Structure 1
Amino acid sequence: MPRLTFLPHETICPQGAVIEAEPGVSICDAALAQGIEIEHACDRCAACTTCHVIVRAGGDSLTPADDLEEDLLDRAWGLEPESRLSCQALVGEDDLVIEIPLYTLNMVSERR
C-alpha cells in the first residue's frame, strides 16, 4: 500500500504526517480519513481549488489531470508544475510526498 507523506503545514498538520492509502482513492479522501483536514469547499466535486496540493515526489503514479482540473488549477494560489487538486488526483502504486499550500482562495471558509 502506498505511503503518503504530508509535509508540515502550520495549521493543518504542524508535525507533518505519514499515512497509507489504497490505490484508486483520492489524496483528499485518504487525508480526510486520517484526520488531515484538507480544505474542500466544493465537497470534492472539482468546482473550486481549495484542496490544491503540490506533489513533491511520486506524482507520475497519479491519474493524469483532466482538462477541468487543469483549468481550475490555473486559479489556485501558489500554482506550481506539480500542483494537483487533491480531490481529483487518485493514488497509484508509488509513495507520494505532498505539500499543502499555506493559503487557498476560499472566500467562504468555515474555519475560525
Structure 2
Amino acid sequence: MPKVTILPHADLCPNGASFELGRGGVLCDGLLAAGVAIEHACDMVAACATCHVLIRHGADSLKPPGDEENDELDNAWGIEPASRLACCVKLGAGDITVELPRHTRNHARER
C-alpha cells in the first residue's frame, strides 16, 4: 500500500505525518482521515483550488493532472510544477511526499 509522507507545516501539521492510502485513494480524503485539516471548500469537486498541495517526491507514480485540475490550479496561490489539487490526486503504486503550501486561496498564514 502506498505511503504518504506529509512534510511539517506550522499550522496544519507541525510534526509532519505519514499514513498509508490504498492505490486509487484520493489524497484529500487521506489527509482528512489522518487529521490534517486541509481546506476543501468545494467539497472535493475541483472547483476552488483550496486543497492545493505540492508533490515533492513520487509524482511520477501519479497520473498527470487533467484539464479541469489544470484550469483550477490557475486560481491557486503560488503554483509551481509540483502543484496539484489534493482532491484530484489518486494514489498510484508508489509512495509520495507532500508539502502543504503556506498560503491557500482562502487564507493567508503569516509568520
Q: TM-score range by the shorter chain?
A: over 0.9
What is the CA–CA distance in structure 2 between the aligned matches of 1:8 and 1:40, rounded to whole Å?
Answer: 19
How far does residue 51 in structure 1 lie from its aligned partner after superposition?
0.2
What is the CA–CA distance in structure 2 between the aligned matches of 1:31 and 1:75, rounded to whole Å?
Answer: 21
1:3 match = 3
Q: Aligned runs of 1:1-112 on 2, under 5 Å?
A: 1-106=1-106
What is the CA–CA distance in structure 2 between the aligned matches of 1:103 and 1:4, rounded to whole Å?
Answer: 21
- Cα deviation, 1:44-101, whole Å, max 9, x if unaligned, reads 0110110000000001111221101001111111101010000001011101000000
Q: Which runs of 5+ in 2 are unaligned?
A: none
1:110 match = none
What is the CA–CA distance in structure 2 between the aligned matches of 1:83 and 1:32, rounded to whole Å?
Answer: 19
What is the CA–CA distance in structure 2 between the aligned matches of 1:39 and 1:9, rounded to whole Å?
Answer: 14
What is the CA–CA distance in structure 1 between the aligned matches of 2:14 and 2:34, rounded to whole Å?
Answer: 15
How much is the aligned-residue C-alpha RMSD, in angstroms? 0.9
What TM-score do the two structures reach when normalised by structure 2?
A: 0.93
Identity among equivalent pairs (%):
52
What is the CA–CA distance in structure 1 between the aligned matches of 2:62 and 2:38, rounded to whole Å?
Answer: 18
Q: Which runs of 5+ in 1 are unaligned?
A: 108-112
Runs of 4+ in 1 over 3 A off after TM superposition: none
What TM-score do the two structures reach when normalised by structure 1?
A: 0.92
**Amino acid of the residue matched to residue 7 of structure 1?**
L
Q: Secondary structure at the match of 2:4?
A: strand
What is the CA–CA distance in structure 2 between the aligned matches of 1:5 and 1:21, rounded to whole Å?
Answer: 11
